[in-house]
Each structure stands twice: as structure tokens, then as C-alpha cells.
A and B are shown apart, each in its own frame.
Chain A
Amino acid sequence: MPARQISPRRRLRDVISARRAVERSRGDAILHGLCVLAGLIAGFVVVEIAYQVISGAAPAISTFGLGFLGHTNWAPNLNHFGAAVMLYGTAVTSAIAMLIAVPVSVAIALYLSMLAPATVRAIVGPLVEMLAAIPSVILGFWGVIFLAPFVQKHLEPWLHSKLGFIPIFGPGQTTGLSLFTAGLILTVMVVPIIASLSRDLFLTVPSELKEGAEALGATQWEVIRGVVLPSTMSGVAAATTLGLGRALGESIAVLSVIGTGSAIHSSLFLTGNTLAARIAQDIQYPVSKLQVHSIFYLALILLVFGVVTNLIARAVARRYDVHRAFV
């Protein structure tokens, strides 16, 4: 009997060599080659994006250096450019968006993964995701015509009267086009991303853990606080980072509602500008070569933001087996 047995290692080797024989056929080589070619094209595009943006920004970098980041002046006629106003506006609008969007999205995700009945889940889930399908230009147009007047007439006066002692809730202005409105529009764009990712995460929490907590007498909220959220915290952080990346890079919707200001105001209810909105605003009719290079410099900053947020999200999300397919 032992003589008939093939050693496991030998069997493995046979299987591998049989596989090799299958893979060696010409059709396989062609398909494999095509796939690798497609991969190389994608890789080339990524490298080329970095190269184009950096080489376009190079003259501006050598003219202004890192001081570009600290200067508040964006004056095409004087040929002087600085990104401080845009950096401030990008940070403030994204912060507003994340402050509102993260709790709302996590709540939506909890509702969809734990509370909603199956039929409601099957309808509300896709509806939330479809919020992300509204083109930013339509959202921006809607923001100017409907949201901005609402913010100016109701939201800003109310916040100012209640919280006016804090400088960021200063008196509103006449248009409703402001950092605050831009933050709200970004919230609408970011919520579906964070919500659908978090929902998928919450669904991965083993039901044994949840049922165990319930068996010990935990209420639903205690299950959420004690089991679901702690075990998915870093995944939610990754989803938030991806949402942040989206908020930092959005241009058209923000351009419409931010009022394209050129100074740093402490009040959220005054105008401002973001990196992406400034690019969209200036790229059509630049007055000088240096302005074009400065626009590329802004794009380079945005590219770094986008890459960094994605790498962070990727590093965190690697620990989870959640695949985001149809976001």
C-alpha cells in the first residue's frame, strides 16, 4: 500500500507541470500578452499624468518655489500667483462636507445594514448610490438657483443668530454663494460614497458577534457602539478618506456656488475659492504663460492630495475584504 502512494510533493509538481502545459498554448500566450499590454497602457497613463502635470508646473515651481503655497495673491495681470486662498477654501469646504457627511453617512449605512427591512434596503440602497450619479454641473446649477437662496434667506441668518458669537458664523452676504454653500454641495456628493462603502463594511461584521452581544442583553445601539463600530472603525476611516479625496478634487459644482472670492475670510458665509474651482475658472482664458504654469502647479497640488488620500485609504482598507464594485 505505501508503495502505491505518491508523495504529496511529487503530486503537486505534477499538477503544476500540467498547468504549465495548459498555459503554454499559443492562444493563452496571445490573451496573456493582450492583458499585459492593457496593463502597460494603464501604467503608462498613470506615469504620463504625473509627468505632464509636473513638467507643466515646473516653470511656476522654479519661479515661486514653495512660497506659492503661502501667498494669498492670485493676480494674472501682475503675473503674481499664490495658492493660499485656494488651499484655505479647499480645506474649509472639505472640512464642512466631512463634518456633516461622516455622521450622516454612517447613520445611513447602519440603517441599510442593520435596521431596514429587506425590501426597503433594496430600494433605498440604490437610491443613495444614485445620488452620486447626479452630474456635478447639474448639482452646481441647482445649487445656484435653489440652494444658495435658501441658505441665504434661512440657514445663514439662523446660524448667525444662534452661533454668531463664533467668528466663523459671521453675518451672511446677499447672494448665498459662500464657502458654506459649497460645503453643503460637497456633502451631497460625498455622502453616497461614504454611505455605500460603510454599509458594505458593516455587512462584513460576523453575525455571531452581533447575536452574542444581543444574547447578553445589549440594545441595538449598544450592539452598534460595542461591536459594529469598533470592529469596522478603520474601514470607516478609509471610506471617509476616499470621500475626502472626492471633496478635495471637485471643481465644477464648487465653482458654481462658492462665489469665486479672492481673499481669506474667517466667516463661512463669505465667498472663497478652491484649488479645483480656480483651475476650472482660469483654464479657458489664461492671460500669460506663467498663469498656465501656475494652474498646472495647482493641479499638481490636487494630484498629490488625490494620490495621498487614495494611498491612505488603500493601506487601511487592505485589512478588510470589502470590494467596492459599483460605487
Chain B
Amino acid sequence: MGQALIEIRHLSKSFQTKEAEITALNDIDLTIEGGDIFGIIGMSGAGKSTLVRCMNMLERPTQGTVLFDGKDLSGLGEQELRKVRRSMGMIFQQFNLLLQRTALENVCFPLEIAGMRQSDAKKRARELLDLVGLSDRAESYPTQLSGGQKQRVAIARALATDPKALLCDEATSALDPTTTQSILSLLRDINRRLGLTIVIITHEMSVVEKICNRVAIIDESRIAETGLVADIFTKPRTAAARKFVYPGAEGQAVSISKRCMRIVFNGTSSCEPVLAEMILACKAPVNILFADTKNLDGKAFGQMVIQLPEEKDLAQKMFRFIRAKGLDAEEADDYVG
């Protein structure tokens, strides 16, 4: 930990089309430390896929440098670059497995490329399939596997050459929520067990929240904000960051007012997450000032004072929501704890 593994300095990338020059990345500075699970989040078209491809030079940057493990990649020739790429695995949204090879042969592929003997490659590939929990599907072809299984094979394949970093380009975007969770758990497990640095490109905040320790928010070809996930999640400083932390709020800051509401729980079901449902329904945050509730035999008793948003309509909507749930709600402005 602590040692910079991937350093990006003043990186820009533009594409020339017939009509105009399109800037995909504009003056990007980013440091990814060894052992990080680093999230890069952005809307589609923000340039995040181009950024990850600049890290292993699948896309050559127009300007700026990429340092990997202290080595400047922008100056390397094709042959040296191919060697460096072996220490950076990559997985993709569409898995990109070789369809005419079995799972085992897919994992062998990067080892064959690196010139390993076939018997050694097979042995190593079996270990890797075991690591991703797919040893029983070694002889299956990709089309016989589910999406999650395919991504596991892809992960095993990306790890075959003992890389220092794993680049994930929207690796869970084609998967359902349950499979996404299991793939993310596998990635975190690999990060802990092998000390592997992981870079995750995504458009979903839930992915970042679940496993990343650091995050960079990329917006309109620039890094809008970067820092610890916990910091950005609690105190997003830019509109771009708020867009991800409060999806649906369209990036508008909802300011909390002095307007307060006292909710009295008088024996309603404690199984129902009333407050959370209210926040989701009204798409606005509230602040809990005081709470004293008890759960007696599945019934909730007690009271709670919450601070409401400034906007009057929103506050009234919350009152209506709570009352519709059969709870007592009264105005408690200027509440002093």
C-alpha cells in the first residue's frame, strides 16, 4: 500500500473524425496506489473506457504520460509494451472469451502467448479456474456458460500471467444484480489474497460503494473529483459527484432546513423501513436529530425527530407519506435537542 502503481500525468486523448476533432480525455491526472481498488465512474461517453485503455496503451494518448510501476509506457515500442501488458490483466463487459476454446484453453491462452510449455500452462490454468470456483467447468465452451461464469473464466484468464494490476472495463454491466455481487466479492477476495491492484470502470455508484476504496469521477472528459469513497459519498463537492451519490436528484443540492417533523411510532410493524421508503419515494435526504425507538414483539414504539428539506412541497410530501403509513406526524420546527 502507499506506493504509486499507475500514475497518469496531464493525459489527453483526442480522436480525428471527418467532421471534427473529438476530445475524449482532457488533461487527466490520476494516481492509483498498489493494493487499491480504484473506481473510475462516469456517464457513458465521459471517456472512462478510453482512459482505462490508455493505462495499457491499447489507446495511445495524444499527450501526457502513463507511468506503470515507475516505467513510462508512452515511450515504449510495441515489443516492450507487449511485455508490460502481461503485468496488467484486463476484463471486459462482453467477456471477450475465445468461443472456439474451452474454459481451460481460454485460461491457457495468455500463457501460450507468453511462451509457456503447454503442460505447465494447463496446470496453472487449472489452479486459476479453481481460484474463481469453476474447476468443474474446465471443459465447457463459453456458449455453455452463464454470464457470471464467463466473467469468472475471463478473470482467471486475466490473472494467468501474475499481473500487478487488473483493469475492469464495465465488467459487471452485462450481469444481473446477484451475479454482479458475486463477481464483486470475487474481485475483492482476489485483491486481498493476492494484493492485486484493481481498477474498476463503471457507471454504477453501487459498484464503487461495494468494493472500491478510492474513486475518481470523470465528467465531460475531465476528472471532476477524486478521493476516498467514504469522503466522496458523504461530502460530494461537485455536481458531477452528487449526480452519482443521489441519482434521481439530478445533481441538485437539497439543503436541509430548520423545518422538523416529529414521528411517533405507536405499535406499527417494525419490519417496515418507513423512513428509508420515504427518502426513496421523495428522492431527498433528511437528517435524524433525535430517535428513541424500541422493538417490542415486532412492533415499533417511540419517537423520532427529523430535519426536512428546505423546499415546502417536498416537506409536505414527506408529511403525507408518513401519515399515509398510519403514523402520527407533527410539525416540530425549531427543535432543540
Partners in one complex: no
Chain A residues with a Cβ under 8 A of chain B: none
